[in-house]
Amino acid sequence: MTNLSINLNKVALIRNSRDTTIPSVVEAARTCIAAGANGITVHPRPDMRHIRATDVTDLAALLATPAFAEIEFNIEGNPFAGPQDNGFPGFMALVEQTMPAQCTLVPDNPVQLTSDHGWDLVGDNAPLAAVIDSLKELGIRVSLFMDPIDAQIKEAARLGAHRIEFYTGPYADAYGAHQAILARFVEAATFARGLGLGINAGHDLNQENLGEFCLAVATVDEVSIGHALITDALWSGLDPTVRRYKAILENPG
Protein backbone atom coordinates (compact mmCIF):
# COMPACT_ATOMS: atom_id res chain seq x y z
CA MET A 1 0.00 0.00 0.00
CA THR A 2 1.11 3.55 -0.69
CA ASN A 3 2.20 5.47 2.39
CA LEU A 4 0.71 8.87 3.15
CA SER A 5 3.08 11.63 4.22
CA ILE A 6 1.38 14.90 5.10
CA ASN A 7 3.00 18.21 4.27
CA LEU A 8 2.40 20.68 7.10
CA ASN A 9 3.57 23.83 5.33
CA LYS A 10 0.07 25.28 5.09
CA VAL A 11 -0.48 24.85 8.83
CA ALA A 12 2.63 26.94 9.41
CA LEU A 13 1.49 29.49 6.82
CA ILE A 14 -1.74 30.11 8.74
CA ARG A 15 0.18 30.45 12.01
CA ASN A 16 2.64 32.89 10.47
CA SER A 17 -0.16 35.26 9.46
CA ARG A 18 -0.24 36.35 13.12
CA ASP A 19 2.35 36.73 15.87
CA THR A 20 1.19 33.53 17.55
CA THR A 21 1.89 29.85 18.03
CA ILE A 22 -1.59 28.84 16.80
CA PRO A 23 -2.11 26.54 15.01
CA SER A 24 0.69 24.37 16.31
CA VAL A 25 2.59 22.47 13.64
CA VAL A 26 3.59 19.83 16.19
CA GLU A 27 -0.01 19.29 17.34
CA ALA A 28 -1.09 19.05 13.70
CA ALA A 29 1.51 16.32 13.23
CA ARG A 30 0.18 14.47 16.28
CA THR A 31 -3.37 14.64 14.91
CA CYS A 32 -2.30 13.42 11.46
CA ILE A 33 -0.37 10.50 12.93
CA ALA A 34 -3.26 9.51 15.20
CA ALA A 35 -5.50 9.46 12.12
CA GLY A 36 -3.17 7.08 10.28
CA ALA A 37 -0.52 9.16 8.51
CA ASN A 38 2.66 7.23 7.82
CA GLY A 39 4.89 10.26 7.62
CA ILE A 40 5.29 13.99 8.04
CA THR A 41 6.74 16.25 5.34
CA VAL A 42 8.01 19.81 5.57
CA HIS A 43 9.53 22.05 2.93
CA PRO A 44 11.52 24.78 4.67
CA ARG A 45 12.45 27.70 2.41
CA PRO A 46 15.14 30.30 3.08
CA ASP A 47 12.59 33.08 3.69
CA MET A 48 10.75 30.82 6.18
CA ARG A 49 7.44 32.00 4.75
CA HIS A 50 5.76 28.97 6.32
CA ILE A 51 7.86 26.22 7.90
CA ARG A 52 10.55 27.69 10.14
CA ALA A 53 13.82 26.10 11.19
CA THR A 54 12.42 25.70 14.70
CA ASP A 55 9.44 23.76 13.30
CA VAL A 56 11.84 21.31 11.67
CA THR A 57 13.76 20.75 14.90
CA ASP A 58 10.56 20.50 16.96
CA LEU A 59 9.10 17.90 14.59
CA ALA A 60 12.36 15.96 14.53
CA ALA A 61 12.31 15.83 18.32
CA LEU A 62 8.70 14.59 18.32
CA LEU A 63 9.34 11.89 15.74
CA ALA A 64 12.50 10.73 17.50
CA THR A 65 10.46 9.56 20.51
CA PRO A 66 9.71 5.82 20.76
CA ALA A 67 5.98 6.38 20.32
CA PHE A 68 6.57 7.62 16.77
CA ALA A 69 9.36 5.27 15.75
CA GLU A 70 7.43 4.04 12.71
CA ILE A 71 6.63 7.53 11.39
CA GLU A 72 8.96 8.81 8.69
CA PHE A 73 10.16 12.39 8.61
CA ASN A 74 10.66 13.79 5.10
CA ILE A 75 12.40 17.13 4.62
CA GLU A 76 12.22 18.54 1.12
CA GLY A 77 13.85 21.55 -0.44
CA ASN A 78 16.71 22.95 -2.44
CA PRO A 79 20.00 21.54 -1.12
CA PHE A 80 21.89 24.61 -2.31
CA ALA A 81 19.85 27.06 -0.21
CA GLY A 82 22.37 28.62 2.15
CA PRO A 83 22.10 30.33 5.54
CA GLN A 84 20.12 33.56 5.90
CA ASP A 85 20.14 36.46 8.34
CA ASN A 86 16.61 35.52 9.45
CA GLY A 87 17.82 32.42 11.29
CA PHE A 88 17.56 29.91 8.45
CA PRO A 89 20.73 27.84 8.90
CA GLY A 90 20.91 26.54 5.34
CA PHE A 91 19.03 23.54 3.98
CA MET A 92 21.78 20.96 4.34
CA ALA A 93 22.72 22.19 7.81
CA LEU A 94 19.09 21.77 8.88
CA VAL A 95 18.94 18.27 7.43
CA GLU A 96 22.18 17.25 9.10
CA GLN A 97 20.91 18.62 12.42
CA THR A 98 17.59 16.76 12.31
CA MET A 99 18.45 13.54 10.41
CA PRO A 100 15.15 12.77 8.65
CA ALA A 101 14.39 9.34 7.25
CA GLN A 102 14.12 10.85 3.79
CA CYS A 103 15.37 13.99 2.09
CA THR A 104 13.58 15.04 -1.09
CA LEU A 105 15.75 17.36 -3.16
CA VAL A 106 13.76 19.97 -5.09
CA PRO A 107 15.09 22.52 -7.61
CA ASP A 108 13.08 25.47 -6.35
CA ASN A 109 14.33 29.01 -6.03
CA PRO A 110 13.45 31.76 -3.54
CA VAL A 111 11.01 33.58 -5.83
CA GLN A 112 8.85 30.55 -6.66
CA LEU A 113 5.42 30.48 -5.05
CA THR A 114 5.58 26.68 -5.03
CA SER A 115 7.59 23.92 -6.68
CA ASP A 116 6.59 23.67 -10.32
CA HIS A 117 9.14 21.43 -12.11
CA GLY A 118 11.56 18.62 -11.55
CA TRP A 119 15.35 18.63 -11.81
CA ASP A 120 16.99 19.30 -15.15
CA LEU A 121 19.94 16.94 -14.94
CA VAL A 122 21.49 17.83 -18.28
CA GLY A 123 24.97 19.22 -17.73
CA ASP A 124 27.31 19.23 -14.74
CA ASN A 125 25.73 17.38 -11.85
CA ALA A 126 28.84 17.13 -9.68
CA PRO A 127 27.47 19.47 -6.95
CA LEU A 128 24.20 17.52 -6.74
CA ALA A 129 26.06 14.21 -6.77
CA ALA A 130 28.13 15.41 -3.81
CA VAL A 131 24.95 16.28 -1.89
CA ILE A 132 23.44 12.87 -2.63
CA ASP A 133 26.62 11.13 -1.50
CA SER A 134 26.66 13.15 1.74
CA LEU A 135 23.06 12.28 2.53
CA LYS A 136 23.63 8.61 1.81
CA GLU A 137 26.65 8.58 4.11
CA LEU A 138 24.33 9.87 6.85
CA GLY A 139 21.93 7.00 6.21
CA ILE A 140 19.22 9.27 4.80
CA ARG A 141 17.10 8.06 1.89
CA VAL A 142 17.43 10.41 -1.08
CA SER A 143 14.55 11.24 -3.42
CA LEU A 144 14.82 13.61 -6.38
CA PHE A 145 11.82 15.68 -7.51
CA MET A 146 11.43 14.77 -11.18
CA ASP A 147 9.30 15.15 -14.27
CA PRO A 148 8.33 11.94 -16.13
CA ILE A 149 11.21 12.14 -18.63
CA ASP A 150 13.19 8.93 -19.13
CA ALA A 151 16.56 10.55 -19.87
CA GLN A 152 16.30 12.64 -16.71
CA ILE A 153 15.22 9.65 -14.63
CA LYS A 154 18.17 7.64 -15.93
CA GLU A 155 20.52 10.37 -14.72
CA ALA A 156 18.80 10.41 -11.32
CA ALA A 157 19.57 6.72 -10.99
CA ARG A 158 23.15 7.24 -12.12
CA LEU A 159 23.62 9.92 -9.45
CA GLY A 160 22.63 7.39 -6.81
CA ALA A 161 19.16 8.52 -5.72
CA HIS A 162 17.08 5.90 -3.93
CA ARG A 163 13.77 7.23 -5.22
CA ILE A 164 12.25 9.86 -7.42
CA GLU A 165 9.20 11.92 -6.55
CA PHE A 166 7.09 12.68 -9.59
CA TYR A 167 5.93 16.27 -9.86
CA THR A 168 2.24 15.54 -10.43
CA GLY A 169 1.05 19.11 -11.03
CA PRO A 170 0.50 18.56 -14.78
CA TYR A 171 -1.61 15.46 -14.10
CA ALA A 172 -3.76 17.34 -11.59
CA ASP A 173 -4.10 20.39 -13.84
CA ALA A 174 -5.31 18.24 -16.74
CA TYR A 175 -7.61 16.05 -14.66
CA GLY A 176 -10.73 15.32 -16.66
CA ALA A 177 -8.71 15.12 -19.86
CA HIS A 178 -5.65 13.54 -18.32
CA GLN A 179 -5.28 10.10 -19.86
CA ALA A 180 -2.32 10.91 -22.10
CA ILE A 181 -0.46 12.58 -19.24
CA LEU A 182 -1.25 9.71 -16.88
CA ALA A 183 0.05 7.23 -19.48
CA ARG A 184 3.37 9.12 -19.55
CA PHE A 185 3.66 8.79 -15.78
CA VAL A 186 2.90 5.07 -16.02
CA GLU A 187 5.62 4.59 -18.63
CA ALA A 188 8.13 6.69 -16.72
CA ALA A 189 7.42 4.81 -13.49
CA THR A 190 8.00 1.48 -15.23
CA PHE A 191 11.28 2.82 -16.60
CA ALA A 192 12.32 4.13 -13.17
CA ARG A 193 11.56 0.86 -11.42
CA GLY A 194 13.64 -0.94 -14.04
CA LEU A 195 16.57 1.19 -12.89
CA GLY A 196 15.97 0.22 -9.27
CA LEU A 197 14.34 3.50 -8.23
CA GLY A 198 11.41 3.75 -5.83
CA ILE A 199 8.47 5.97 -6.77
CA ASN A 200 7.03 8.82 -4.71
CA ALA A 201 4.52 11.38 -5.94
CA GLY A 202 3.37 14.79 -4.86
CA HIS A 203 1.84 18.13 -5.78
CA ASP A 204 -1.85 18.86 -6.24
CA LEU A 205 -2.97 15.31 -5.55
CA ASN A 206 -6.41 15.37 -3.94
CA GLN A 207 -9.38 13.16 -3.10
CA GLU A 208 -10.61 13.28 -6.70
CA ASN A 209 -7.43 12.35 -8.55
CA LEU A 210 -5.32 10.44 -6.01
CA GLY A 211 -6.84 6.99 -6.35
CA GLU A 212 -6.64 6.86 -10.13
CA PHE A 213 -3.00 7.93 -10.11
CA CYS A 214 -1.94 5.33 -7.55
CA LEU A 215 -3.95 2.59 -9.24
CA ALA A 216 -2.34 3.32 -12.61
CA VAL A 217 1.21 4.00 -11.41
CA ALA A 218 1.51 0.86 -9.33
CA THR A 219 3.30 0.73 -7.05
CA VAL A 220 3.74 4.22 -5.62
CA ASP A 221 5.75 3.98 -2.43
CA GLU A 222 4.62 7.29 -0.94
CA VAL A 223 2.53 10.33 -1.69
CA SER A 224 3.24 13.66 -0.03
CA ILE A 225 0.11 15.80 0.18
CA GLY A 226 -0.31 19.17 1.81
CA HIS A 227 -2.28 21.92 0.13
CA ALA A 228 -5.34 19.88 -0.86
CA LEU A 229 -5.49 17.94 2.38
CA ILE A 230 -5.21 21.00 4.63
CA THR A 231 -7.80 22.79 2.49
CA ASP A 232 -10.20 19.86 2.82
CA ALA A 233 -9.60 19.87 6.56
CA LEU A 234 -10.96 23.42 6.82
CA TRP A 235 -14.39 21.99 6.00
CA SER A 236 -14.17 18.45 7.38
CA GLY A 237 -11.61 18.58 10.18
CA LEU A 238 -8.04 17.31 10.09
CA ASP A 239 -8.58 13.86 11.59
CA PRO A 240 -11.49 12.86 9.30
CA THR A 241 -9.70 14.25 6.26
CA VAL A 242 -6.54 12.26 6.91
CA ARG A 243 -8.66 9.13 7.31
CA ARG A 244 -10.35 9.78 3.95
CA TYR A 245 -7.02 10.07 2.16
CA LYS A 246 -5.81 6.91 3.86
CA ALA A 247 -8.97 5.09 2.78
CA ILE A 248 -8.32 6.11 -0.83
CA LEU A 249 -4.80 4.71 -0.67
CA GLU A 250 -6.04 1.50 0.91
CA ASN A 251 -8.63 1.05 -1.84
CA PRO A 252 -7.63 3.25 -4.81
CA GLY A 253 -10.06 1.50 -7.16
pLDDT by residue (tens digit) across 54-78? 999 999 999 999 999 999 999 999 9
Rounded to an integer, what distance in angstroms lies between the CA atom of residue 250 and that of residue 253?
9
Furthest CA-CA distance within the chain: 49
Q: Beta partners for 102?
A: 74, 141
Pick 109 or 217 by higher pLDDT: 217
pLDDT digits (tens, 9 = 90+) for 168-184: 999 999 999 999 999 99
Which CATH number goes with the domain that contains 181? 3.20.20.70
Q: Is the pLDDT of residue 229 over 90?
A: yes
Asked if 132 contacts 142 with a C-beta cutoff of 8 angstroms, the reply is yes
- Is the model's pLDDT at 243 over the cut of 80? yes
* Domain total of the chain: 1
Mean pLDDT of 91-119: 89
**Region 149-167: what's the mean pLDDT?**
98
Mean pLDDT of the 221-239 span:
98
CB neighbourhood size of 5 (10 A)? 27
* pLDDT at 110 exceeding the cut of 90: no
> Percent of the chain, pLDDT > 70?
98
Q: Which domain holds residue 75?
A: 3-250
Residue ranges of the alpha helices (H) in 69-218?
91-98, 126-137, 150-159, 169-173, 179-194, 210-216
What digits encode the pLDDT tens for the residues 1-35?
999 999 999 999 999 999 999 999 999 999 999 99
Please say whether the beta carbons of 185 and 217 come within 8 A: yes
Give the pLDDT of residue 180.
97
What percent of the chain is modeled with pLDDT above 90?
95
| pLDDT tens column, 111-154 | 766 776 899 999 999 999 999 999 999 999 999 999 999 999 99
For residue 160, pLDDT beyond 70: yes
Average pLDDT of the chain?
Answer: 96
- For position 129, what pLDDT does the model report? 98
So what's the pLDDT on residue 69?
Answer: 95
Residues recognised as catalytic: 43, 76, 203
